[in-house]
Structure 1
């Protein structure tokens, strides 16, 4: 089975979460360990299903894992946003999104089609929560080195990935209208795969930063 470069980026983040598990286990970032295990397993299984042309099973797999993906990142934003109303919004988004995803897959789009409706909803929410985080980060009175903040790297990776994904999907109707579906698919894969690489490199850096912060605290004590 031939893997793409973005698969190795995901594996790198998974390995980082294993190596640095002691640094993240007592922090909200503990969720990245089971999350990365799920992502790596889903991508490998999905690749095998696609190679066997079992496209319906592939859709079922990613209809589940992408919903979990959004919930994981909503949780991390909830733990890292402090403003009262912003924190309430991120907290409220988790059950609302899960209910919306279930309703969509049961009664609207169905389980046999990819959940583009709730994928779009999740993308918009992620972008909003990124703005929440950066607004608070840049509004702090005391100086903060954001490069040493794990959530800075996660928010940066998520912002570029979902903004890029959202933008390329907005272009889809234009390509369909002009009978350029194959070209859109080619462009989408190139952009999407590179954005995935960037996203998971950022997550790897976030985990390493978390580990370094723990080491620094030990030295200070």
Structure 2
């Protein structure tokens, strides 16, 4: 899942970003309200981690702008701030934040709170995702085929998660790069096809019923061949 981190303190942003990347998230970083607005204009993020003390505008202004837009009303937002007073916390939550962390905080707590807001009803994250004989536990970055762990690289896992979330519907190819790559990551022309090819080999080697179908000109989807096999 692609997350936007809005934090003007470069060292702190690097520490947070490194932790969230290792936790399996795709991450973009904005160091100002203006940079955050530019990112939000072109990417539909799964969640936002937002510092209130930005150099150009207060973070609450970024939050207010996000909540005014149709596509931003349901995006989970966690506020980060050095302001620990009750009035500040209430103001942030009333402005539309989903959670609030006071600096300094533990990185594992930030990760846990982020996953918690992503699990709330109506949002994308779930404790366990299932389709056919595949299961994914997003919090553990674990993919299993009929209970056996499937060893996936980070981008392979990210694509599998995107497909499993909507299965058996189609994941549109034009949207996949936005979900799997941050602005800083280079993307080769055939990067997605290469990831799909590796996933197909690993699913076949694991004896999975689930397959990845290519719909030319559209994208990819998961299909469960178990029912077809039983019918023959």
TM-score calculated relative to the size of structure 1: 0.28
Q: Which has the higher contact order (CA 8 A, sep 6+)?
A: 1
What TM-score do the two structures reach when normalised by structure 2?
A: 0.28
- Structure (1 or 2) with the greater strand fraction: 2
Q: Which has the higher helix share?
A: 1
